[in-house]
């Protein structure tokens, strides 16, 4: 493919100018995963250059590695290495500043000699943070101030320093120019603490999508240094954190920072062990869903509410429901029973729905006995769901472990199975 494109461009240098831009984009999309081919297209065919460069530089990964062992002073002055692509990109920006406008997704991550760091006395923590702070202060602001078209910023789980409960403040300062850009619409903060998250949100202006990961709570009064002109009106919110961090973020966020009442998609996945009907957790979740009743279209939950589903959402508006049902805490049958009875009441209380997809994901059920113990309850739910024409199909996802099989699921949903409206997916762990 690469040879054909290069040869064609060399033999007919004006050919590409007569090809519609839409067709060129389709061709480039077909080879988007082949970096060497994209580079060839960008080099040999001038009309293709901006389109190919846009694909090449769409995503930028900044990786920092701190290596204690190679430092002459060992742990007193850890070596800090930046991924080669960043150095190359930085040099490229000097000759071609317009390249910065092609970067739409930015991921900032760090790797450490983690096991070695964890064995260092706590008195040396400040020394490491000082070295990291020195690096971020001198490198990031200069490099990132040119990236003014970034639409998605991702801070992965391993960004947090292994010796600190806080993401370095200098990191937030260094990313300030990206956060304040009006083009930034998506932010994923998958580590750190709530105060760091509030500081980042306070810098944002046009954010629509927010993903909050494994953040930690601090017993401090949140006080962001700045606030957006108007509360951020999110359309997508995904929270995959521990229960305390989730509840603090939803209930105690500084006023004027985030508007939680215009969501189109909401994902709540609470990490760790909790009871399906945990009182405070359920109330917080129900209130958050209810606040978005007029706009919510997609809902992902692993928290079992008490209020009926279609009392919390608009049956005419909701399109996709994804429920993750876990086997813990034991006994699994009690946790599952709460879900099945809630689902039965929810679907029996509404006559007309317009769901495009309904997914039950069963996690940790290693034995069919846990599920089959509620056989009568499942059959009742099957009868109700099969009588709802607005439900085209029920999807059930299992992990490939234990004795629970797709045949067991077909047995508890016989009506849906007989009409071809049941689809069972058996996936590997970690799918």
Instruction: Give pLDDT tens digits for 79-130.
Output: 555 666 777 788 888 888 888 999 999 998 766 654 444 555 555 555 555 5
Q: Cis ω on the peptide bond leading into residue 149 (within 30° of 0)?
A: no
The CA-based diameter of the chain, rounded to the nearest angstrom, is: 73
Provide the pLDDT for residue 2: 42
* E strand residue ranges, 298-390: 298-301, 320-326, 357-363
Nearest to 185 by CA among 229, 233, 147: 233
| C-alpha span between 65 and 60 (Å, rounded) | 16
This prediction has a pTM of: 0.82
As given in the structure block, the two tokens for residue 223 are: 């006080």
User: Residue 6: is its pLDDT beyond 90?
Assistant: no
7 contacts: CB under 8 Å, gap ≥ 6: none
Neighbours of 5 (CB within 10 A): 20
Highest mean predicted confidence (pLDDT) among 44-48, 88-92, 272-276: 88-92
Highest mean predicted confidence (pLDDT) among 140-144, 217-221, 312-316: 312-316
Give mean pLDDT, residues 56-64: 82
Q: How many helices, marked H, and strands, marked E, lie in the chain?
A: 18, 15
Q: Which residue has the higher pLDDT, 160 or 335?
A: 335
Provide the pLDDT for residue 17: 53
361 pLDDT band, cuts 50/70/90, is very high
b/e sequence 108-146, b meaning 16+ C-beta within 10 Å: bbbebbeebbeebeeeeeeebbebbbebbbebbeebbeb
Tokens 């150095």: give the residue: 87
Q: What are phi and psi of 368, to 5 degrees?
A: -70, -20
Give mean pLDDT, residues 200-208: 91
Cβ proximity of 92 and 141 under 8 Å: no
| C-alpha span between 75 and 126 (Å, rounded) | 12
71 pLDDT band, cuts 50/70/90, is very low
Task: Lowest mean pLDDT of 107-111, 311-315, 407-411, name the range.
Answer: 107-111
As given in the structure block, the two tokens for residue 299 are: 């809902």
Provide the pLDDT for residue 19: 67
Give mean pLDDT, residues 4-10: 43
213 contacts: CB under 8 Å, gap ≥ 6: 157, 188, 189, 190, 191, 240, 241
Q: Strands 105-112 and 79-82, how do they pair?
A: unpaired
Task: Lowest mean pLDDT of 63-72, 98-107, 222-231, 340-349, name the range.
Answer: 63-72
Provide the pLDDT for residue 277: 61
As given in the structure block, the two tokens for residue 366 are: 């290693």
């Amino acid at each position: 493919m690469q040879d054909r494109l290069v040869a064609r461009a060399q033999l007919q240098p004006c050919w590409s100018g007569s090809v519609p831009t839409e067709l060129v984009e389709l061709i480039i999309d077909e080879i988007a995963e082949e970096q060497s081919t994209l580079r060839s297209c960008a080099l040999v065919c001038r009309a293709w250059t901006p389109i190919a460069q846009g694909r090449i530089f769409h995503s930028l990964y900044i990786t920092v590695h701190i290596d204690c062992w190679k430092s002459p002073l060992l742990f007193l002055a850890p070596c800090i290495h930046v991924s080669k692509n960043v150095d190359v990109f930085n040099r490229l920006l000097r000759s071609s500043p317009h390249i910065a406008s092609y970067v739409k997704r930015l991921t900032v991550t760090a790797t450490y000699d983690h096991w070695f760091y964890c064995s260092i006395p706590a008195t040396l923590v400040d020394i490491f943070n000082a070295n990291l702070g020195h690096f971020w202060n001198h490198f990031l602001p200069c490099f990132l101030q040119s990236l003014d078209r970034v639409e998605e910023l991702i801070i992965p789980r391993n960004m947090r320093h292994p010796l600190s409960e806080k993401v370095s403040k200098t990191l937030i300062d260094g990313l300030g120019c990206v956060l304040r850009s009006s083009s930034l619409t998506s932010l994923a903060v998958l580590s750190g603490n709530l105060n760091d998250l509030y500081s980042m949100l306070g810098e944002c202006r046009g954010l629509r999508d927010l993903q909050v990961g494994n953040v930690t709570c601090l017993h401090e009064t949140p006080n962001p240094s700045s606030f957006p002109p108007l509360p951020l009106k999110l359309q997508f919110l995904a929270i995959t954190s521990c229960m305390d961090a989730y509840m603090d973020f939803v209930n105690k966020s500084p006023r004027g920072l985030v508007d939680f009442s215009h969501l189109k998609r909401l994902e709540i996945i609470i990490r760790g062990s909790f009871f399906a009907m945990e009182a405070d957790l359920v109330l917080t979740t129900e209130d958050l869903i209810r606040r978005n009743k007029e706009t919510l279209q997609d809902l992902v939950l692993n928290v079992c509410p008490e209020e009926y589903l279609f009392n919390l959402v608009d049956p005419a508006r909701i399109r996709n429901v994804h429920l993750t049902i876990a086997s813990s805490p034991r006994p699994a049958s009690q946790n599952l029973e709460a879900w099945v009875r809630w689902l039965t009441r929810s679907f029996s209380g509404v006559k007309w729905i317009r769901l495009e997809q309904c997914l039950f994901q069963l996690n940790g059920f290693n034995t069919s006995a846990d599920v089959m113990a509620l056989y009568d309850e499942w059959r009742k739910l099957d009868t109700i769901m099969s009588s709802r024409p607005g439900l085209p199909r029920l999807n059930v996802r299992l992990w490939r472990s234990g004795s629970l099989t797709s045949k067991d699921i077909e047995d508890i949903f016989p009506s849906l199975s007989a009409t071809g409206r049941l689809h069972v997916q058996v996936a590997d762990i970690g799918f």
